[in-house]
Structure formats: structure tokens, C-alpha cells
Structure 1
Amino acid sequence: MKVPWHAIWGYGAHIKSTPGVLYVQKRSQQSSYSIDAIKHLLLVGGHTIQTATINRLLEKGASISFFDAHGTPLGTLRPFGPNKNEDIWCLQTSIPSHRFVVEFVRSSMKSRLLWLEELAESSESALFYRGEQDVLRQAQNEIEYLVRIEEIRRLHALSTDMYYEILSRLVPAELEYRRRTYRPHFDPVNAMLSFGYALLFGNACVAIIGANLNPDHGLLNQGAGGFVYDIIEPLKRSMVDSVVFELARESLHPGDYELSQTRCVLGDDLVSSLLDRLYTTIDQRIIDTNVYAYLQSLERGGEFEVIC
């Protein structure tokens, strides 16, 4: 799926243009894009861009947004005239959210249960306690029939707590991981999960800003960044959890992290290894596709389906 925004990540890119083409020079590699096809240019990290290129994009009706290296939005340049953000933000608040919440939760539950069942098949000992697998399957089946958003949130929270607790049975006991906890974390597994989710959050935030959506208008999650958390919820399992729990099970050593009285600190080598793996599993194309599918469903109606 082709999305109408384009993100440039990292550092050191030189961005220039001719009247119809945008050129991005990064080290020895140059890429080119039709200016008419870019409705929102997203600059993540540190780059240089010609003022003539900024002028051309604004003249074409495109916006330019700036982010720090972690994907935190810093500001946006927009053409003079009606603000498209306002129209889309109104759509977000005016259209009933039930079908979107159901899809976020359904896809999340399905992804997690399938993975747990795969892990159970390859595990030497029983992964599920009696009845747990049936409870998770029943929760997945019931979600379609719940009417109130609060009921959906409660069922999702229950299944999520079970998911993280079941995964703890695969992790060596000396890591002291029992369940998902809030910050500050006192075990390396939770610390790695939060690190990975923060990266995923940044990638999703860039796409959401690119689509001119309100990142704070959550449907399943509420508060600052609520919609970003909605988007990443079904993707956590495939893009972060698989990496973290593989590291925890196979190659984590006491020297990879440090425990203090206030929190668990991940070592530099562990962070580097974690980053290398997450860069291969956090797929921006899938994130962009899900964000654009939501935007199109808002604007045109029709079904909304999450790709995990």
C-alpha cells in the first residue's frame, strides 16, 4: 500500500529538489521521489534541507514535520489556508469508535494466542496451566459481541496480564521476571520490553503525524499518545516481544545488566544487541499500512483490518 507521506530517518541526509523531484542524498546513496506524491515529509533525526525545497513542498500543499531521533514530534510547517488536521481530528472524535477498538483488541489477542500456542508446542514442559488456553480462546471469541468499550478494555487487560504471566514460565528464574510491571523496572525482561515498546512508539508516532491524525485521541488507550498505543498494541508481539523473550531465554547473562535499589539498567552491549534485532523486526511498512487503513476507513467508511 502506497502512503502519501515519506519519512527520512537517522542523520546526515541532504535534501534538495528540482520543480518536480525530491532528492535525498545519504552518504553515497541517492534516492528520488515525485514531489507531487508527497503530501507530508517527515524528518526524523538530523538532516539538512534546502529552503527552496521547503518552499516547493509548501507550494504543492505538502506539510513538513520534524522529530527527534526517537520519533518525538517537535513541530510542523504547513501551507497557509485551511488546516486538514482539523478536519481529520474532527472525524476521529465524531465517528463511533467501537469497531476500531474491537479490531485493535481482536488482532492483538489473536497474535498473542497463536504465538503462545506455537511456544507451547515447542516447549519441553507444559506452558499453559489447566484452563488458561480455553480462557484466552473464549476471550478472543467474546470480543466481537461486547458492546461497551469499558467491557472490551477489561477483557483486553485480563488477557494481556495472562499473556505476560504465561511467558514468564519460559524465562530463567534468576532473571526475576514474573509479569509485566510499571516503571521503574527491577528485572531485565521488563526493561527490555519497555525499551522496545518505546522504539515502536516512535515509529508509529511518525506515521500517525504523517497521516495528519491526532496521536492523543486514543480509542482503546486514553491519555497522551493514546492513539499511538492503539496502533502498536497488535504489533508488540511480532515486533518486540519475540526479540526480547528470545534474548531472555537464550543469551542473557548477569553481566548484561545491573540491578540497583532504584531500577534495572541495561548494559551497552545488551542495548546494542537489542537494537540490532529490533531494527529487523520493527517493520515501518506494516505500521504505515495500518495507519493508512485507519485513515481511509475514517474518510471513506468500510472495514478496518489490522495487519500484524
Structure 2
Amino acid sequence: MVQKKVPWHAIWGYGAHIKSTPGLLYVQKRSFQSSYPLDDIKHLLLVGGHTIQTATINRLLEKGSWLSFFDAHGTPLGTLRPFGGIGNEDISCLQTSVPSHRYVVEFAASSMRSRLLWLEELDSRHETGLFYRGEQDFLHQALHEVEFLVRIEEIRRIHSLSTTMYYEILSRLVPPELEFRRRTHRPHFDPINAMLSFGYALLFGNACVAVIGAHLDPDHGLLHQGGGGFIYDIIDPLKQSMVDSVVLDIAQNAKVSGKFELSQTRCVLGDDLISLLLERLYSTINQKMIDENVYSYLQSLHGGEFTMYYP
């Protein structure tokens, strides 16, 4: 993956002090200070709680830059844009006018490929093998076919079917006492599904920040439909490496029993388990890769190639 400089910049966490000179943005966090050319920042994204000088806000707006604010989980709160400046209507129009088939194929194939490669890696390390008869061949055939399907409904159907199989195959590596059989909708009644949803929520927030930074419509899904559909498109090929691998490793190597509560309404993760998850996910959720994928899509709207990157 070739690293590109994206036109947005996100400041995460809490406690940063943000100031500027006419040419540079300074970010002071504890004893560390970073600086960035103001001309390179077309959209400043503040995630969490920080202090920013009004003079810095004025400079950014004068240069035509946007500022967006998010809570600590990446949920959008609001946006400042230059007075009288143009909005993001042009990009939204491009999103809806560009033919969607190639994007749907790329999102689906990338997701299916990343999961199949990992399952095969796990299978090679499993003494008795991981796949039941015909499963591996089916997944390979599905991946091959998805790139030649014409109807988007068929692509969504085969992607959904292979995703369901993926979680069912993965469940064979989870200790049976954790009662994980397949991916379920909320509310969850086992800790694995609860941990997956927790991780996906974090990943969703990170991707949402990048999508807003690129002035893209987060609800214009291609492979996925509904609210936040485009963000789900972006994170789907990344779930395996950034979340699933962490959850499986914790399930296999950490003592999960006793670190969650199962009530009549749902499974509640304990504080120790959440802390462990956060520590691990902060090291695997790769913001640069998320930014690269969003930027690749943005560039493709203007005629460039679109490629999804995943570890």
C-alpha cells in the first residue's frame, strides 16, 4: 500500500491543546507537540475533548477549511464550514451518480477474500482441520463468482451467505462453554458476539471520522443499505484483521469465564474484559489504512482506480 497524504486530519482522545500561527497548526498533548501546515488541512476533525483557540478556528475557516466535532466514540456532533462557502453537495452528487457495480464487487470480494485467507491460515494450524467437507471449495467458488455477477442483489446475497458461513466456521475454534455458534443480532446472549459488536462499534467510529473528513455521505451504502451503510462498506473488509483476530485470541487464551454476566435480556461484558479489549483493539485498528481506503474511494469518484486495502 502506497501511503498518501489525505486532506483531513483527526485529533483523537482528550487533553490536546490546539493553537496555530498563520502557517502552522500546533497540537500539544502532554509533553509532545506536533505541527502541521495549515494549507494541508482541508478538514480538521476533533474527536473527544480538546482545547482549541478561537484564532485557530478563524484561520482554518479563512483558508476554506472545515472543522467537525465528534464524541469519544466517533459519533458526529456538528460541523463548522466557511461562511458562504460551498458544501459537500458536489461529492454527494458524485456518490449517487457514479455506477455502483464495481464498488459493490470490490467491497464484497475484499471482505470475502480477507476472511477466507484467515480461515485457511487457521485451518493450517488446526490439528484436525477447520473446514467441513465442501466448505472451503464453496467459499473459493463464491469468491470467484462474485466478480462476474451482474445483479447487485446477487452480490449481496452471496456475500451474506459467505459471511454467515465464516462465523459458523470460526465458532469451531471458540471454547464451547462460551456458547458461540454464529453471528447474532443485538441483544447478544454470549460474550463472543458481545465482544465482536463492541469492536465493530469502535471500528465504525474510526471509519465514520474518515468518511466525514472526506465530505462523503455516510448513509450512501453500496454493498450495505440503511443508516451508515457506506461506513459498513468501508469496515467490512477490515473486520477480520482489526477485530475478529483480537476476539478469537482473547477467547482462546484469556479466561473469559467469570468476566461477563448473562441475564435474561443480554450478555454484559465485565470491566476487566472491556479494558483488555480496548487495549488490544487500539493496537489493531489501523486509522491510516482506514484513511487510505476512504481516500481511494474519494479519488475514484474523480476517475481514479478504487482498491480496498486490508492486512
Pick the TM interval, shorter chain. Answer: over 0.9
Q: What value does the CA root-mean-square deviation take over the aligned residues?
A: 0.7
Residue in structure 2 matched with residue 198 of structure 1 by the alignment:
201
Query: Are the aligned partners of 2:25 and 2:35 in contact in 1 as well (CA < 8 Å)?
Result: yes
For residues 21-65 of structure 1, what are the alpha-carbon distances to aligned partners after superposition, in whole Å with 9 as ceiling and x for unaligned?
A: 111111111110100000000000001111110000000000000
Residue in structure 2 matched with residue 110 of structure 1 by the alignment:
113
Number of residue pairs matched by the alignment:
307
Residue in structure 2 matched with residue 302 of structure 1 by the alignment:
304
Query: Is 1:176–2:188 an aligned residue pair?
Result: no
Query: Are the aligned partners of 2:299 and 2:305 in contact in 1 as well (CA < 8 Å)?
Result: no
Structure 2 letter corresponding to 1:43: L
- Secondary structure of 1:255 counterpart: coil
In 2 relative to 1, CA 253–302 (structure 1 residues): closer, same or farther, beyond 3 Å? closer
Distance of 1:107 and 1:93 partners within structure 2: 22
- Which TM-score applies when normalising by structure 2? 0.98
Q: CA deviation at 1:82?
A: 4.1
5 Å-filtered alignment, 1:49-128, equals: 49-128=52-131
Q: CA deviation at 1:254?
A: 1.6
Residue in structure 1 matched with residue 268 of structure 2 by the alignment:
265
Q: CA deviation at 1:80?
A: 2.1
| Runs of 4+ more than 4 Å apart | none
Query: Is 1:139–2:142 an aligned residue pair?
Result: yes
Q: CA deviation at 1:125?
A: 2.0
Structure 2 letter corresponding to 1:32: S
Structure 1 letter corresponding to 2:305: E
Residue in structure 1 matched with residue 242 of structure 2 by the alignment:
239
- Secondary structure of 1:244 counterpart: helix
Distance of 1:237 and 1:91 partners within structure 2: 30
Query: Is 1:156–2:159 an aligned residue pair?
Result: yes
Q: CA deviation at 1:303?
A: 2.1
Query: Is 1:39–2:42 an aligned residue pair?
Result: yes
Residue in structure 1 matched with residue 212 of structure 2 by the alignment:
209
Q: CA deviation at 1:94?
A: 0.6
For residues 248-298 of structure 1, what are the alpha-carbon distances to aligned partners after superposition, in whole Å with 9 as ceiling and x for unaligned?
A: 112133211111111111110110011100000000000000000000000
Query: Is 1:277–2:276 an aligned residue pair?
Result: no
Distance of 1:46 and 1:12 partners within structure 2: 6
Distance of 1:253 and 1:234 partners within structure 2: 27
Structure 2 letter corresponding to 1:302: G
Structure 2 segments unaligned to the other structure (5+ residues): none
- Secondary structure of 1:33 counterpart: strand
Distance of 2:38 and 2:74 partners within structure 1: 23
Distance of 1:125 and 1:191 partners within structure 2: 28
Distance of 1:252 and 1:154 partners within structure 2: 37
- Secondary structure of 2:35 counterpart: strand
Query: Is 1:252–2:255 an aligned residue pair?
Result: yes
Query: Are the aligned partners of 2:19 and 2:52 in contact in 1 as well (CA < 8 Å)?
Result: yes
- Which TM-score applies when normalising by structure 1? 0.99
Structure 2 letter corresponding to 1:143: V
Distance of 1:234 and 1:205 partners within structure 2: 15
Distance of 2:171 and 2:105 partners within structure 1: 27
Query: Are the aligned partners of 2:71 and 2:77 in contact in 1 as well (CA < 8 Å)?
Result: yes
Distance of 2:83 and 2:93 partners within structure 1: 20
Query: Are the aligned partners of 2:256 and 2:273 in contact in 1 as well (CA < 8 Å)?
Result: no
Structure 2 letter corresponding to 1:46: G
Distance of 2:154 and 2:271 partners within structure 1: 42
Query: Are the aligned partners of 2:17 and 2:28 in contact in 1 as well (CA < 8 Å)?
Result: yes
- Secondary structure of 2:140 counterpart: helix
For residues 210-246 of structure 1, what are the alpha-carbon distances to aligned partners after superposition, in whole Å with 9 as ceiling and x for unaligned?
A: 0000001101111111100000000000100000011
- Secondary structure of 1:145 counterpart: coil
Distance of 1:162 and 1:286 partners within structure 2: 26
Distance of 1:82 and 1:22 partners within structure 2: 22
- Secondary structure of 1:12 counterpart: strand
Distance of 1:291 and 1:49 partners within structure 2: 26
